[in-house]
Amino acid sequence: MTAGEPGAVQDGSSKGGLRAALGGLTTRGRSFLAAGVAAAVCAYVLGQGDLLRVGLLLAVLPLVCVVVLYRTRYRVTGTRRLSPSRVPAGAEARVHLRMDNVSRLPTGLLMLQDRVPYVLGPRPRFVLDRVEAGGRREVSYRVRSDLRGRYPLGPLQLRLNDPFGMCELTRSFSAYDTLVVVPRTVPLPPLRLAGEASGYGDGRQRSLALAGEDDIIPRGYRHGDDLRRVHWRSTARYGELMVRREEQPQRARCTVLLDTRQVAYAGAGPDSAFEWAVSGAASALVHMLERGFAVRLLTDDGNAVPGEGSDGFAGSTQKSADSAGLMLDTLAVVGHSDGGGLSRAHDVLRGSNEGLLIAFFGDLDEEQTSVAARMRQRAGAGVAFVLDSARWTGDSSPAGQAAAGRAEERLRQLREAGWTAVPVPPGAELPALWQLAGQLRADAESAGNGGPTGFPGGWS
C-alpha cells in the first residue's frame, strides 16, 4: 500500500519493513499466535500429532495475514481543506478530507484518522468501505476551540486491516495544515471620527501641500491628463508640457497599543483580563480599518505589525481585509512579555503626527503611568482602557483594596495628561465602554478640556 498526499508518498519499507508489520498484530492476532505456539509445545511434549497440526494452523494464520497485508500495494492520495482556515475563538471550522484510489486495484476496508490537538475536540475517525480503482471518498468533521492560537491538523493516517482482524498497519501522510483561531471581535458603534485627514471620515478638509499656487510642484504631462491642469508658467520654464500635481489625501492614522507585560495581569483562561485586552485590541483595529484608518498594532516590547513601508501602517497600500488578517494572526499567538515597562513602545511613537492612539493597559505603577502620559504627547488623540487585576480577580483583601485605590489614582493621572481613560470592570462589554469613551471625550471638549488636538466631536 502506498499512502501519501500529492507529491508525498510513503510505503511500508519506510516503516521498517516486515518487522514493523509484525508489530501491527492486533490483540486477536497475538492471541492466535500465542495459542498456536502453546499448542505446538504441548503436542511435542505429549506426542499428539493432531494437536500439533491445530497449533501450527493457529500460529501460521496471523503470520500469513501479516505477509499478505504487508505486500498489498495500494496507491492512495489524500487532501485536506479547511473552511475557513481562520476562525474566531468559539466558532467552528469544517475540515474536508478526500481520499483518491489512484491504483488499478480496489482497496479493502480502510480506517481514516486525522491528528488534531486535544483543544479542538476528539480525534476524528472514519471507516471507508471498499474503494474501487480510481474511486474517491469524501468525509468531513468539525473543530472548535475557545482558546486562540495556531493549531496543526495532521498528518493524516490510514489503517489497513485484514479480513480476520489479525493485523493492522498504519500509513501516514506527510503534510499537515494549520488552523488559526483568532481572538473574538465585536462590532463597535460608529462615533464621530477625530483627526481624520482629507478624503476620509467625517472631517473631509482639503489642503494643498504648499501654501501658494506659485509653490505648486508640477510634473510632466502624461497621456490622459486633463489639459485644464496644465501649468503654463512651468511649461514655459522647462520647455515641455507640465501639469499640476493632484491633491493627495492622507489617510488618518491609528495605533492600537496592547500591553502584554506579565506583571500587568493576573489570572489566566478565556475570561481573564489579558484575554479581554487581546480581544479588545482585535475589535478596535478591525473597527478602525473599516472606518478608513491606516492602522498598526503595537505591543509594549516595541514590535509593530505590519511594520512594512516607510510609515509602518497598514491599510493605505494593502487591502483592509489582508491588513486585518495579518494583525489578527499576530494576536492569535501573542502571549505575555517578560518586559516590565512601556518604554520601547514609547520610543516607537515618533512624534505628534501619530494620529489616534488606542491603548489597552494592564496594571500601571507610578513609573509606567509616567511613560504612558508621555505617549499621549506623541499622538493626536488618545484613549486608554485600563484593566485593574485586583478587580478582575475579585481580591477583596486590604491589599486588593489598596491596589484598587492606586488604580483610581493612575486613571486620574492619565486623564490629566490628556488621555480619555476608561476603567474596565470584570465582564464589561467593549461596545458600551467604546460609547462611554466617546461621550467622555465629547464632554471634555465641550468643557474646553479637549487638549491640544483641537479635534471636534468624539474620538472615533
Q: Which of 377, 439, 458, 429 is nearest to 196 (CA)?
A: 458
Helix, strand, coil % (nearest 5) of the chain? 35, 25, 40
User: Looking at residue 399, what is its pLDDT?
Assistant: 73
What number of CA atoms fall less than 13 Å from residue 200's CA on the CB side? 21
User: Does residue 358 sit in helix, strand or coil?
Assistant: strand
Question: How far is 387 from 92, CA to CA, in rounded Å?
Answer: 29
User: Looking at residue 151, what is its pLDDT?
Assistant: 96
User: Looking at residue 204, what is its pLDDT?
Assistant: 35
Strands 177-182 and 294-299: unpaired
Question: How far is 121 from 66, CA to CA, in rounded Å?
Answer: 33
Q: Which residue has the cell 508525498?
A: 8
Phi then psi dihedrals of residue 372, to 5 deg:
-65, -35
- The dihedral of CA 215, 221, 226, 227: what is its sign? positive
Question: How far is 182 from 248, CA to CA, in rounded Å?
Answer: 35
User: Looking at residue 456, what is its pLDDT?
Assistant: 34
User: Looking at residue 323, what is its pLDDT?
Assistant: 77
User: Looking at residue 409, what is its pLDDT?
Assistant: 92
Phi then psi dihedrals of residue 427, to 5 deg:
75, 10
In b/e form, how buried is each residue of 81-91, taking b as 16+ CB within 10 angstroms? Answer: ebeeebbbbee
User: Looking at residue 224, what is its pLDDT?
Assistant: 66
Per run of 10 residues, the mean pLDDT along the chain (length 460 residues) is: 40 54 88 93 90 92 87 83 94 94 84 92 90 92 95 90 84 89 94 48 34 53 74 81 64 90 91 95 93 91 75 63 86 91 89 80 94 89 91 78 82 93 94 92 69 41
- The dihedral of CA 352, 355, 356, 359: what is its sign? negative
User: Looking at residue 135, what is its pLDDT?
Assistant: 92
Scanning 291-420, the segments in alpha helix (DSSP H) are 320-333, 343-348, 366-376, 389-392, 398-416
User: Looking at residue 245, what is its pLDDT?
Assistant: 65
